[in-house]
Structure 1
Amino acid sequence: MWRAALVVCQLGALAQSLWAQEDDVPAAAVTPQDCNLDCIRQGGAGCEYCRITRSDIKQALGFNSIQAFGSCIPWPCFELLGEEDPQICRHYVQAPNDVKVESVHEPKPSSDTIVVSWKPSYYGIAFLRGFQVSLQALGGSTIACQLFLFHRNLSLPATHAQRVYKSDPFPGLSLGTQYAVTVMALPVPEEWERFYHSQTFSTRSCAEKNGLERCKKDWYPEHVEVQQEGAAINVTFNLAPPNLGIRSYFSLCYANGMKKYTDITPKSSKNRTHHTYQLDGLQEGTNYTCEIAANEVDAVRKSFNVWVLRIQKEDATTRHVTPSLALILPLCLAVAAILVVLLAALVRGRPRLQMKSVHVRPDNIRQHQEIASQEEMVSLPRSRLTPPRLLICYSSFDGPAHVKAVMQLGAFIQQHMATQVCLDLWDSLGVAEEGSMGWHCRQIRESDFVLVICSRGLNHRHEPPEPEGDDEGEEADKGLNFGPHAFSSHAAARLVGEEVGRAKARGRDLSKYMAAIFEYSEETDIPTELRLASHYALTSDLPLLFSHLHGVALHRPGGYLKINNISEEGYAKLPAGAALQWAIYEAGMAMRAKRPQTV
């Protein structure tokens, strides 16, 4: 008896191993079929997994779907399958998983084609009626959508959760672009979540699809060779193919704060595949980091290193000293004799010369010394490896002209004052992810300095409208046409004022916090707490702001710091400075126009 039981156990184990082997064999992917809606509704055998076209939508509903949405419509299960039995579209189906995106062959070199694949979820698979796949470019309005349905009599078993289903190709996608793909399980219930799976992907770049030799935007020199012959540094690189139309290149080398820019224009008559150019003016014993690229907008740069070796000159001098000694020695003796004769003549004629004293006024000497001392250079300290980080807070109650002036100030400081500027208007995505106050609190902690642009609106306190009466509520709504984060920087500015007050009460350093006003604002616009910190009037105090940010003294014994780009007279000569000057002028006009209305 026990032998029979043992045989049965062994047969069961063998059967389980065979079933496991069968499960491990990957099933072929299920691709869409061409079938009509009548076949799907009647449950025909040849309509297991069908694509729905715009013509099917028109036949079933009597109108064409929106061109941008392809064959997708709202509530496709109820509209196309639920007329006879609405209950089949009221069950829970969880989102697909293992969503993958693969590129397929696309004959056009300027676009890409992808196919989406996925697996259905175990949960609710028996009630699964189909899938809807949508594709949208990130930051754009391009939308493509595909709809796939099972016939009404099909009920998938749990084992089909390992099957891979595929979409039709999505053609004509832009190269090097990010897209978001969403795979939705049908039916779509109102009261449940997790019925779709969404992820982002990037299409292939031009170089990945067509090869580097066919892409002007992505091309860069792949082969760079550096050779030093004496004091000359020769660099050889491969030229771009003639079909790309690249005629000139540039090279940039930098080390220890020094930069060397070289324009390169090869002559196609000499060599069409490689070109050699010479780097001049490099210091011996210095390791340079160099970049070379085509002279095109946003060209990809190839980096390489150049180590300039020191030239040994001892051997050359010793070889030339011996043969020339016989010629130099007589020449030196002749020169010495001439000098002796001239010296004797000067000594004899000295008593005959009349001494003439010249009286020099002491104030002229001091003036000359002051002029010489003012021309001395004052170098910035190099202890900081990265530029200081500055957070700018402001009030948006003074209108868009004031906000524009703040933006232009941030751009000028970042371009010409060696400072990294943090502004909420430049990081909308980060503000949306963290929340406006969360973003500002983190920036206050991480920034080296915080600058509050004070204006008349900074002292404005927003009060919610009282719910008494409909007219008052409507008037309040008219004055609040801002977004949910419109006053976030205004609240952060008041938060900085509270931080300054606490730091002063605890005896801590206040150099991190600063306040500033534009020409159209008054010093009384600075809140009381912020007057404890350093405050400046812009744009006349740009040098003082630069001194605060970099910790350098504008004046010292024998010298002073002057930078033409940020002086009161010279900043407007720069494009960013002219834009800042004009923005301040427009904001001042807008502020003066508002004042009679608010009095």
Structure 2
Amino acid sequence: MWRSALVLQLVVLGLPLWAQDDNTATALAPQDCTLDCVRQGAPGCEYCRITSADIKEALGFNSIQEFGSCIPWPCLELLGEEDPEICQHYVQAPNDVKVESVHEPNSTTETILVSWKPSYYGIAFLRGFQVSLQALGGSTIACQLFLFHRNVSLVAEHAQRVYKSDPFPGLAVGSQYAVTVMALPVPEEWERFYISKIFSTRSCEEKNGLEQCKNDWYPKYVEVQQEGAAITVTFNLAPQNLGITSYFSLCYANRMKKYTEITPNSSKNNTHHSFQLNDLQEGTNYTCEIAANEVDAVRRAFNVQVMHIHKEGPRTHFVTASLALILPLCLAVVVIIVVILVALTRRRSKLQMKICDVKPDVIRQYHDSGSQEEMVSLPRSRLTPPRLLICYSSFDCPAHVKAVMQLGAFIQQHMATQVCLDLWDSLSVAEEGSVAWHCRQIRESDFVLVICSQGLNHRREPSGQESDDEEADRRLNFNAFSSNAAIRLMVEEVCRAKARGQDLSKYMAAIFEYSEETDIPTELRLVSHYRLMSDLPLLFSHLHGVALHRPGGYLKINNISEESFAKLPAGAALQRAIHEAGLAIGGKRPNSVEEGE
């Protein structure tokens, strides 16, 4: 049967392709038609949307709410009963996938529409499409299923047709998503049946304008005044239509931070507000930020220079004659001592310069040149970003898995690196098997990063009976657990490479701040290992092969440091995920109670 399918496919490919030029691209929108109409092959059911109600009527159960109208094998379940052979052919993945925004009255959400073209290869056996939408670093949001009637037979010139999905509403503005378009049917042992595309929805500023966005608004007028010990800051308030009622200010200097929460009274003044900055050290320059108390709000930076405050002591109205004589004498003695010390110091410095034969001009020139630092740019020899595979253990807790997922999203967005993570490629993992998928990714990736944790050395103890909750947990996390087997295979490869004297720079190990150095397996101590997020610049240097420092220069990449990464939305989400995982894992360690005591 497979051989005959391939022969028919070659016949379709042999059709004259000159007909494509005469066939203008027409966009086909989904139709409302019953599932019976699709099965019977009526002419009015050319391109039909399949709803959850159709799935329930056909299969007798409700489809999972998160997956909408999609089911794992739609062709076999819905069309295979009448004619199983129509679901047994190869169909190539669609191409030219495009995502466009459509009108959405809600200012906080976005609605998108997906369009694509079918492939020439196997188009005669095409039965429909399945479109799924997934938040980058999250789970599937929605899925739509579209089927042709069973008697349809497309030819090669129909590959110029443009097919559209139904709108996907309710997407967050300024967020990243991945859309996957799958060609039906999907036979076994076939890997090129779908195509994925990563896109970003419009930001609030692009959709509504700056003045209509909470996250994009920031105070444009900031004035600082100091009168004695009182420091007053005045700034302009947000427009009332944004509904911003709270603000905050953050000042930091010398590794000290001062947070001030601000709640203006709009009944007194609805345009400007003044507040006090307290408990700041005298003679210190502070860098401060002020913003609306909203998630990912833009911050306005300003400087505060705290002057010295001269405090006058109580004046003495009566000065005795003995004190008037002692003070001039003490001042004369102090002046003489200072002159002697200055003379001795200058004499010693001249002797040292003479002995070392170093000219003062040379020393001055050296100090002047020390402030001239050179910026180091990234090498442009690499045409594509490095490919990084992240392996981890899910035996700790879901919070640890979330931290790993947020780390992958941050590295892909802000560290010029292509990240491979099994959580983002569930279709390929389900098709190949988790172990086979990890082995292939290890071969094809430029680098492999193992996130070590306490659960990495966990071993499930076999028991006689398994509860229902344990059985469900085992089934849901089977693919994630099998990444431990891939880690063991990688550990063996590291040991063999070390024994042969080969380069080990491809492999790395890392721990989050809530893990310990002992969580790193002994074999992985042979490779470079880092503590995140303090060693984030070192990890960036390893991935791109650049030196952090060199004579007269240093590596400076925006937002790639322990202090600045959290200013980005992805960095803030990563910092919060690491904090939550630390709280969840900290109480599970056996020595956590003893350390607290």
TM-score normalised to structure 2 length:
0.46
Structure of greater relative contact order (alpha carbons < 8 Å, 6+ residues apart): 2
